[in-house]
A = this chain, B = another copy of it.
Amino acid sequence: MNAPLDFSPLLARTREPFPASNKSWIAGSRADLRVPVRDIRLTNGEVVSVYDTSGPYTDPAAAIDVRRGLASVRGAWIDERGDTEAYAGRLAQALDDGQRGEDAARLSELRAQAAALQRQPRRARAGANVTQMHYARRGITTPEMEYVALRENGRREWMAQYSQDAARERRLAGNPLGASIPKIITPEFVRQEVARGRAIIPANVNHPEVEPMAIGRNFKVKINANIGNSAVTSSIEEEVEKLVWAIRWGADNVMDLSTGKNIHTTRDWVIRNSPVPIGTVPIYQALEKVGGIAEDLTWEIFRDTLIEQAEQGVDYFTIHAGVRLAFIHLTAQRRTGIVSRGGSIMAKWCMAHHRESFLYTHFEDICDIMKSYDVSFSLGDGLRPGCASDANDEAQFAELHTLGELTKTAWKHDVQTMIEGPGHVPMHLIQANMAEQLKTCHEAPFYTLGPLTIDIAPGYDHIASAIGAAMIGWMGTAMLCYVTPKEHLGLPDRDDVKQGIIAYKIAAHAADVAKGHPGARARDDALSQARFEFRWQDQFNLGLDPDTAREFHDETLPKDAAKVAHFCSMCGPKFCSMKITREVREYAAARGVGESEAVAAGMQAKAEEFNRAGGEFYIPIVPNAI
């Protein structure tokens, strides 16, 4: 049965295609390699094609049943490589779901649902290494790499008209600040970037549903959104809907930071229904398994948790292996100490045992697991600053240097690796963070949380951090972890998640434009052109959030007619600066004269015409244009 018979109304709403949009596919070198894009149909006949993170959910033709999970994208590619094997997998335990005997009936029901979803786990055959980095270094261009190349390029035919003016292109040429972004991303370029560790493609062999994407400074800047399980887990639809909501607005990656009850089961639901890479912080679940007592953590429990999650298909693990015993005292004079949850758990363990972190001492054992599934490292910054005052301190950089050292170790095993970064950093200290990371971590992708540029904006930290995120994205950060308006205060709700994502899409896009990513600016150009030509619907639909733009417009000018009118609520119907400019241009075009003469002649003629016409009214009603 393919029809989504018992689709929840919630998920049905989230699945609505964007206005005037449809999904199309860029064909790759094989029939099963099709890269989705979103085509926005403009009222003037143009089609603007944009990067699409929303997966099959926004495709009305896709029959999706969250109880069965998404169709496989990569299954055949993994099979063909012949270097993995299906196996029985680890025996599931009640403890995986934080259950200690209670709610047995409910758990049994939930796990039955999960079992129906769960694919049989695969891992590398004995002696094999199945990471994209391993293939890349052996000169193999995988379908995943080709997919990424096609996805990064997108469709560009429509952009040509926006870049015909050579002088303008020179004036607006980006400043990549050391990035090396080719005009066209080839599969071979992707391979090279992955081989040298400058990009990763998070893609666990147990997550064949993923639509491959790349994180690296020479690709588009990506964003991550965090989701977590509900206090009371009610249904697969509800958990999956959070994911679908986040990717709808543009999350390139999602971290599942669920804790407490039913997290194993919830993770099955999320991964089986996720077209984007899923990251986790395994220490959270390991801690649950030892009843929340950090000092009871052991390497064996942690290792078991890694395998549990790797079998489920988690694409990257945050591992706080840089929180070393010797660094903890460096945080003692800080204003806000250790603020990373994972970092503080490990600090507590190190303190309790007065021993080096088992994440550090067992790092190569972890690498062995990672390469068996192609789970990527996200080396956690457990000692990141928790306020501006602690930014760029000795503790932070000591950990960063360790992460650089661990990067080398991971690369020795061909394990894909990115590095997490702060946090809280005033604007003038951001550059030093990026420079230090690039140098110390050998250009492994940087993945920062913000950074927040000031501390006095509780309730608005998505803005305080979007400033820092845009800047560090320009400077070379490959992925930005979002911050919601609820940061430091409480639980983000559905709208907070959206606000955080949009703020970070702004930051990421601002970075792409500043770096001069080919084609990044074209969407701005198309929107500005629509604005100039009073194509209101196009202006809304080209924006990051068409719904809000339309709603804001309609508050002032609700009639449908206003959406094709050649005016806006700012200057009223009878006078408009953009209109004047257009009139001059049309005059010139109609006469077929050269630009300068046309303008001069046009101005003279307009002088006469304006004098004849007279009587226009200037009715400005929005108080915002100075």
Taking a contact as CB atoms closer than 8 A, the residue among B257, B507, B529 that contacts A623 in the complex is B257
Q: Given the interface contacts A352-B606, A466-B463, does A531 sit within 8 Å of B336 by beta carbon? A: yes
Query: What separation, in Å, do the CA atoms of A174 and B331 have in the docked complex?
Result: 22
**In the complex, are the beta carbons of B623 and A427 less than 8 A apart?**
no
Q: Is A453 an interface residue (CB 8 A)?
A: yes
Looking at the complex, which of A137-145, A199-207, A358-366, A388-396 is the stretch in contact with chain B? A388-396
Q: Size band of the A side of the interface?
A: 35 or more
CB of A374, distance to nearest CB on chain B (Å): 21
**In the complex, are the beta carbons of B531 and A459 less than 8 A apart?**
no
Looking at the complex, which of A80-88, A89-97, A406-414, A535-543 is the stretch in contact with chain B? A535-543
* Proximity string of chain A (345-370) to chain B, C-beta cutoff 8 Å, 1 when within and 0 when not: 10110011110000000000000000
Interface residues of A in 594-625 (CB under 8 A from B): 595-596, 598-600, 602-604, 606-607, 610-611, 614-625
**In the complex, are the beta carbons of B580 and A347 less than 8 A apart?**
yes
CB of A350, distance to nearest CB on chain B (Å): 8
CB of A462, distance to nearest CB on chain B (Å): 8
Q: Which single residue of chain B is at the shortest CB-CB distance from A484?
A: B624
Q: Which single residue of chain B is at the shortest CB-CB distance from A382?
A: B577
* Proximity string of chain A (470-487) to chain B, C-beta cutoff 8 Å, 1 when within and 0 when not: 110010000001011111
Q: Which residues of B contact A429 (CB under 8 A)?
A: 172
Query: What separation, in Å, do the CA atoms of A256 and B624 have in the docked complex?
Result: 10
Q: Is A210 an interface residue (CB 8 A)?
A: no
Q: Which residues of B contact A227 (CB under 8 A)?
A: 623
**In the complex, are the beta carbons of B457 and A543 less than 8 A apart?**
yes
**In the complex, are the beta carbons of A521 and B457 less than 8 A apart?**
no
Q: Which residues of B contact A611 (CB under 8 A)?
A: 295, 352
**In the complex, are the beta carbons of A626 and B420 less than 8 A apart?**
yes
Looking at the complex, which of A17-25, A215-223, A568-576 is the stretch in contact with chain B? A568-576
Q: Given the interface contacts A581-B338, A622-B492, does A456 sit within 8 Å of B523 by beta carbon? A: yes
* Proximity string of chain A (551-572) to chain B, C-beta cutoff 8 Å, 1 when within and 0 when not: 1111111000000000011110
Q: Given the interface contacts A387-B524, A387-B528, A626-B481, does A548 sit within 8 Å of B459 by beta carbon? A: yes
Q: Is A491 an interface residue (CB 8 A)?
A: yes
Looking at the complex, which of A123-131, A184-192, A284-292 is the stretch in contact with chain B? A284-292
Q: Is A240 an interface residue (CB 8 A)?
A: no
Query: What separation, in Å, do the CA atoms of A471 and B338 have in the docked complex?
Result: 29
Taking a contact as CB atoms closer than 8 A, the residue among B347, B467, B531 that contacts A488 in the complex is B531
CB of A555, distance to nearest CB on chain B (Å): 5
Q: Given the interface contacts A487-B624, A532-B335, A622-B490, does A329 sit within 8 Å of B456 by beta carbon? A: no
Taking a contact as CB atoms closer than 8 A, the residue among B345, B347, B527, B600 that contacts A456 in the complex is B527
Of all A-B residue pairs in the complex, the 4 with the closest CB atoms, nearest first, are A337-B581, A228-B623, A344-B577, A490-B556
